[in-house]
Amino acid sequence: MKRLLMRVSVGAGLLAFVPSLVAREDARLVSNWQYRTGDVAGAGQLEFDDNGWQTVTLPHNWGWEQAQQGENYYRGPGWYRRALEVSPRPGKRYFLRFEAAGSVADVYLNGQPLGQHRGAFGAFCFEISRQLSSTGTNLLAVRASNAPERDVAPLSGDFCVFGGLYRPVHLIETGDINFCLTDHGSSGVAWLQTRVTADRAVLDVTAQISNATGRKEELILAARVLDASGHAVATVEQPIPVVPRVTAPFALHIEVPQPHLWNGRPDPYLYKAVLELRSKDGAVLDSVEQPLGLRSYSVDPDKGFFLNGKPYHLHGVDRHQDRWNEGWAISEADQDEDMNLIKELGCTVVRCAHYQHSDYFYSLCDKAGILVWAEIPQVNEIDPSPQFAETSRNQLLDLIRQNINHPSIFAWSLFNELWPGRSDPHRELQDLKIVANGEDPTRPTIAATATEQLPQMNKIPDWLGWNIYPGWYEGWGTLQAFGPLLDRGRSISRHGGFCVSEYGAGANVAQHEQNPKQPRPDGQWHPEEWQAVVHEAAWAAMKTRPFVWGTFVWNMFDFTSYSRHEGAVRGRNDKGLITYDRKTKKDAFFFYKANWSEDPTLYITSRRFTERTNAVTDVKVYSNANEVELLLNGVSQGGRSNAINCVFVWKNVELKPGENRVATQAQRGGHALSDECVWTFKPTAEVRNR
């Protein structure tokens, strides 16, 4: 088929659709947006003069500049305007789809309001067919505001809510009859995996079909499943009556014999699922193609997580989407880098905290075989109003309907750390669970809690994760508390098993301490060595308990929390295994890489602790090799083997005055490994050494 051509004028933002055989076309509106911070009277009107406004490209957002410096950041409105020259064609419909806007968006075309979306993370879509000018000259205006609203979660939380059009905006052309685009911004198509075994995958497909014509049509709804080579492995079609000016659901049942299963990291096999709407003479009126990974999973309270009937431990990280000097306006290349780092670590799962992440990132997880915990931004507290309940329900519907076909997503999360002494969340959570289970009976609901004081709340989700911080936050105890806390969690989480949804400690890669002691989490001293000690203790406790079906490090990357001033850095939550700019992998990153990844790993810890005032020091190395040799200034200090959890230690190594070259070497899988760093011993140097 010939692809539809676009003509884009840089000056005016002209988009002209050229006739095509393709049933649906999608163009991103990237450039030539005019932007101004603040509320501007009349900015939604066609005649408004936006001369002097800033010209920006999408994605774009605000607030990060102040927030990442630890300052109170701007939370309020901003306006976007853009020329949109589209010549509407007979028999075609036109839509604007926003992948997200922070956090309340009002959209206007030619001065006419298209609608409002409340919530900073879900996509939304408006039809513009009737509002388009017959001349082809149009004006699109968007008011986005990240001002706090009592009906829009999150009401609080240890992260920022930036404003703006921080994900792509699409102009979509379809025929008069199509798969509905305005059903919570979804594709209008849901492939439910009713039953999946090694012998057969049973799929129940629902399509929301919209007929904008005044005619009743007799059409064909056809589904195909194509393997990775493009060969059809299952097909089904049936005639359907389409009623005039109605959007209605239609169902298909399709089975794939002897399916090639989606088996996580070892084999994330993807089929292609194709749903077509055809005329009686076979012309394709609309089609939706999506990846399809066939899998099943379950949790045994004693034995842990099972993928496709086989034990499959989930160990991974939590992730926030923001980046240094970008905020939320991240590119696909940024997300590719995040995914490559998560894969390098050896993760099998990621918790996308604390809100809906981009469709692009979920797709990366599909391809990588990394399972996903997906959640809505209900953090710390709820508001008791009916408006809050309605907005939260819509956020959950956005999350589920837009992402229901991602094979990587294994659970829908209802909340994170709701606390006693605030508005009672029980009724609202029960309602959300009913919505989630009704929308998607193939996946459980889940939540992350940190309190036993609301025991009935903790029983509402099908599965439950616990956020625990021994060795870091006050009240969680020392490192020795990990084991007893895990055993306690098991005893009160029997119905859905037990996982650790958060754990960890902060670290500033410029701060170091020999023989580290537990620091104050809200203090200015966050030595990198203590973070590593916390993770060593945590993994040792979790690894030996098979009932802990999943573990999630908080966090994969440092992220902005504007109110924090800890570890000598303002505006930063420094619990990441990698620094905010993604440039430095902390010691704890390599601890997990040695334990989780099959890639040969050899890494000397405390490598950035370059200025030493103690001549005698321990040397610690992380490696998945069987034996590691240490050399100091070219002299062997002996080999070590039988490491516990990939940790090798040489006690009481003595440094000489001046530079000391510390080197290690090992063999793994036929690969020669080596690593080295330089430490300078200055007995009289005034270097902080606690």
**Tokens of residue 503, six digits:** 């754990």
What own/partner pairs with CB < 8 Å and gap ≥ 24 does 17-24 have? 17/86, 17/87, 17/89, 17/92, 17/173, 19/89, 23/174, 23/175, 23/284, 23/285, 23/286, 23/287, 24/172, 24/173, 24/174, 24/175, 24/178, 24/286, 24/287
Smallest CA-to-CA distance from 540 within 475, 587, 480 is with 480
Q: Which amino acid, 309? A: G
Whether 417 is a known active-site residue: answer yes
Integer-rounded Cα Rg, in Å, for the chain is 27
How far out from the chain centre does Cα 186 lie? 18
**Tokens of residue 170, six digits:** 């699409």
Q: Which of 99, 276, 417, 513 is catalytic?
A: 417
Collapsed DSSP state (helix, strand, coil) of residue 593:
helix
Question: Which residues, at least 6 apart from 210, have a Cβ–Cβ distance to it below 8 Å?
Answer: 177, 178, 179, 180, 182, 188, 246, 247
C-alpha 162/C-alpha 141 separation (Å) is 19
C-alpha 400/C-alpha 204 separation (Å) is 16
H-run or E-run covering 249: strand 247-257
71: number of Cβ within 10 Å: 13
**Tokens of residue 653, six digits:** 């190594």
Burial-class residue 19 by CB neighbours within 10 Å (0-12, 13-18, 19+): exposed
Question: Which residues, at least 6 apart from 99, have a Cβ–Cβ distance to it below 8 Å?
Answer: 123, 167, 168, 169, 170, 358, 359
C-alpha 570/C-alpha 565 separation (Å) is 4
Annotated active-site positions, please? 417
